[in-house]
Amino acid sequence: MKRMMASKHLRSTLVVLISLAIIGAFAYYLYKNADQYINLLNLSPLGIVLLLVLSFFQPIFNGMINTVMFRSLGVKLSHKEGFLLATVGTLANQLPISGGIATKAFYLKQKYNLSYTKNFSANLALYCCTICIYGLLGLAILFFWTFSNTTISAILWIGFGAMAATIFIFIVPLHRLPIPASISKWVQQALEGWMFLSKNPRLLIQLMTLQIITMLLLAGRFWLAFHMLSQDVTAAQVILYSMAATLQQIVSLAPGGLGVREAIVGGMATSQGYTTSASVVAVGLDRLTSIVVVVLLGWISTVLLGRELSSTRLKTPEQQPEQP
């Protein structure tokens, strides 16, 4: 037991140290290049307001994704709860290790008895499907650029090709794999969550439409941030940036994926001729404005969801909702 506690404490300490190192490196980078940013910066009150407005709409559509997805899993989730879970999840993702999925899973387990395995596998299926769609859209944009004699970095072809290749995950016949009897219950729950999209094409279209809308909102934020830094990016470019930025969830060690999104977008923008410093600060500018909305709505939603759980626990077992 003592060894387990020591190992857990060591992992937590390492995560904190890595997070602090990333934040420190990012702060030092900003400090060393502060003079460049001051010359580039052309902030306007209207631009800041528009960034805040777009940041506010993000959890609205994320809430709709929650509602549509979890209702398909048999959970009678209200639109209000879907929105609150989206804002709380986004706030939890600001932790060193993203806690958005865990926070939503805990709430849905406590109130609606949705299993953790089904919840996680459904979220994983949605994420993989989203990455695949974004990869295909990214390749379509790159193909379009080839007809306009635009020079395209091989890294972009490889990156979006790899994202599109995620489709092969859904071809694997998971239900035919041999399953040990001792874990058959959990595997069955995981498969139900994983396959919920393939069984309902209409649901898939709904969720992908909502995901694309949230991606376009992020692209709009990037477009504003880059132009506020005197970087004349196009709509197609920021769409590529926002689609690639979803990959930050894979390696999100630092709070909110700090450093990962900057590296992805900064690297892509640099490959297209924009300065690395301006690209990194543009993403940072978007992060600073959006974090205001994230913290404000997140804390309010945490209180409201806490009340929802408290009222649920006061009910008798016969009154609590059951999940089929």
pLDDT, one tens digit per residue, over 163-182 is 999 888 777 665 566 656 55
Q: Establish if 25 belongs to a structural domain.
A: no
DSSP conformation letters of 133-166: HHHHHHHHHHHHHHTTT----HHHHHHHHHHHGG
Q: Beta-carbon neighbour count of residue 203 at 10 Å? A: 16
Whether 103 is covered by a domain: the verdict is yes
Question: How far, in Å, CA of 265 to CA of 280, rounded?
Answer: 7
pLDDT band at residue 249, thresholds of 50, 70 and 90? Answer: low
Average pLDDT (92-113) is 78
Above pLDDT 70, what percent of the chain?
A: 70
Q: Is residue 57 very low, low, confident or very high in pLDDT (cuts 50, 70, 90)? A: very high
Percentage of the chain with pLDDT > 90? 21
- Range of 180's domain? 36-313
Extract the tokens encoding 212: 């694309």
Question: Distance between CA 107 and CA 86 in Å, rounded?
Answer: 12
Residue 19 lies in a domain: no
Please, are residues 32 and 56 in contact by the beta-carbon 8 Å criterion? no
Task: For residue 140, count other CB atoms closer than 10 A to its CB.
Answer: 12
In this predicted structure, the answer to whether residue 209 has a pLDDT above a threshold of 90 is yes
CB contact burial 13-41 (16+ within 10 A = b; e otherwise): eeeeeebeebeeebeebeeebeeebeebe
In this predicted structure, what is the pLDDT of residue 216? 95
In a domain, 319, yes or no: no
| pLDDT of 16 strictly over 60 | no
Residue 253 main-chain phi, psi, to 5 deg: -85, -45
More confident residue, 14 or 194: 194
Residue 5 is assigned to a structural domain of this protein: no
CA distance 147 to 304: 52
Query: Per-residue confidence at 212, pLDDT binned at 50, 70, 90?
Result: very high
Distance CA 172, CA 59 (A): 33
Residue 319, pLDDT > 50, answer no
Rounded distance, CA 82 to CA 147, Å?
43
Instruction: List the single range of 54-58, 113-117, 170-174, 290-294 with lowest mean pLDDT.
Output: 170-174
Statement: residue 324 has pLDDT above 50 = no
Residue 291, token pair as written in the block: 């974090």
Of the pLDDT bands very low, low, confident and very high (cuts 50, 70, 90), residue 7 is low
CA-wise closest residue to 270 among 175, 128, 153:
153
Please state, in angstroms and rounded to a whole number, the distance separating the CA atoms of residues 142 and 304.
44
Mean pLDDT for 107-112 is 88
φ, ψ of residue 178 to 5 degrees: the values are -65, 130
**Minimal CA–CA distance to 90: which of 68, 67, 61, 122?**
61
What tokens does 285 get?
């500018």
Query: Mean pLDDT across the chain, nearest whole number?
Result: 77
Q: How confident is the model at residue 133 (pLDDT cuts 50, 70, 90)?
A: very high
List Cβ neighbours of 301 (8 Å cut-off, separation of 6 or more). 83, 84, 85, 87, 88, 91
How does pLDDT run across 218-243, given as a tens digit for each residue? 999 999 988 887 788 899 999 999 99
Length of the chain in residues, anyone? 324
Structural domain count of the chain: 1
Average pLDDT, stretch 277-291? 79
Q: Is residue 14 part of a domain?
A: no
